[in-house]
Amino acid sequence: MDTTVEKKPHAETVVSGTLKTAQIDAHFGRAVDRFVRNIELPGFRKGKAPKERVLQEVGDVSIWREAAEAALRDELADILKSHSLVPILTPTVSLTATDAHVDVPFSITVVTAPTVEIKDYKASAAAALKKLEKLDPTKERTGALASLNTQVRSMLQKSDDAPITDDEAKKIGFENVAALNLFIDGEADKAVEQFDAQRRRSAVAEHLLADATTVVPHVFIQEEARAMLETTKQEIARQGLLFNEYLAKRGKTEAEIMDEMLPTAEKRVALDLVFAKIADAEKIKPDEKELHRIAHALMHQGAPEDRAHQYGAEMSIREQIWVALGVSEPKPKDETPSEAVPHDHSDPHHTH
């Protein structure tokens, strides 16, 4: 059978061809029998109407279309094999039967697995870091200190500019002002470090995506967008708001909000494919100690055990990839990690 192939976006391939009359004729009698078994006509019990009456009632075109569908089902596996197509979803079949006893054109839409190609990912990462503007740590630390001090004063409901006293420091769990200031200094240093890590990872992630060729099925993108929508709903609920109120404030429907998320969802899925490719090339496996540390912290926060371990494995691999790309320094073997769950900032919209 002669067929043509057309590649479409989002890992879709459309195979078009024509079923010949002889192929369909081979299924016509069985198609008639199926209609006879299932139809119920006035004056006859179900399955007992004469074939001639069924043909008259149903019409040759309907039966011809049924026979064509059966013929195409028989040919489907061979058609896909001839074009090396392995569907990840049930193929969508379309037939155009407008008359009986003639050839019938058809098309088959196949969704295949996602693919990714990236040549020199280490060179891509190095180029991204080289282009990145140098961080001004003094400026960033000043901003972090100002933000932290604002938070502390907000906690104390302190609106004036007067210095914080030892008694006020004790109200929020510190022995005195000196201890509070030491804590704020440490948090400011961490904030600068985290910001620098975030911008380095974001820059490299963008460069990797630009250098990669990814083909992502639309169903994967929709699934990611739905996950993002659920995360948004949870965040809104934590703020004490109803999602319907949020939609009213935005002047959007839930479907419109999800449509807005599709570009970011596609970017996330594509980046996951790139990282999976790198992990495979570098033979990176989850670090069991780190995996269990992250999973334990998540389960302590109420996450299901299986999801916590899955996320722990993903994060362990991701951290090793950043090291392989020269974005992060490897942790010393004797370093005792904190119980805080690491967050990958490569995508500023990406929360797990």
Kindly report, as residue ranges, where domains of CATH 3.30.70.1050 are found in the chain.
3-113
pLDDT value at position 122? 96
Q: pTM for this structure?
A: 0.78
Give me the tens of pLDDT residue by residue for the chain, a chain 352 residues long.
789 999 999 999 999 999 999 999 999 988 888 887 877 777 676 767 777 777 777 788 888 999 999 999 999 999 999 999 999 999 999 998 889 899 999 999 999 999 999 989 999 999 999 999 999 999 999 999 999 999 999 999 988 888 999 999 999 999 999 999 999 999 999 999 999 999 999 999 999 999 999 999 999 999 999 999 999 999 999 889 999 999 999 999 999 999 999 999 999 999 999 999 999 999 999 999 999 999 999 899 888 899 899 999 999 999 999 999 999 988 765 544 444 444 454 553 443 3
pLDDT value at position 343? 47
List the beta strands (DSSP E) in 146-295: 213-215
Q: Which of 312, 316, 336 is nearest to 328 (CA)?
A: 316
pLDDT value at position 319? 94
Report yes or no: 216 and 269 within 8 Å, Cβ to Cβ: yes
List the beta strands (DSSP E) in 86-198: 92-95, 104-111, 115-117
Report yes or no: 210 and 119 within 8 Å, Cβ to Cβ: no
* Contacts made by residues 334-337, CB under 8 angstroms, sequence distance 24+: 337/290, 337/293
CATH architecture of the domain with residue range 3-113 = 2-Layer Sandwich (3.30)
